[in-house]
Amino acid sequence: MADGRIEEWALTRLEVECLGRRATTPILMGPPDSPVLLGATTLEELGLGIDPLNRRLIPVDAYLA
């Protein structure tokens, strides 16, 4: 963790759907009070990107290399 603590969380895979797109993505199972985050891996698997000006997700059909 950012404060130097070490924690072990279970790893599993979950099917997610967002904006009509589906993907199976890895997830970490933290304690019940853990924040819920949609990470970069999940966004990439769903083909979604972030529009920070309008605070929304947008389809991204091609990845930049």
pLDDT of residue 1: 84
Query: What does pTM read for this prediction?
Result: 0.72
Strands (E), 1-65: 10-18, 21-29, 48-51, 56-59
pLDDT of residue 42: 92
pLDDT in tens, 14-65: 999 999 999 999 999 988 998 888 889 999 999 999 999 999 999 987 655 5
Helix (H, G, I), strand (E, B) or coil at 53: coil
pLDDT of residue 62: 65
* Host H or E run for residue 33: none
pLDDT of residue 55: 95
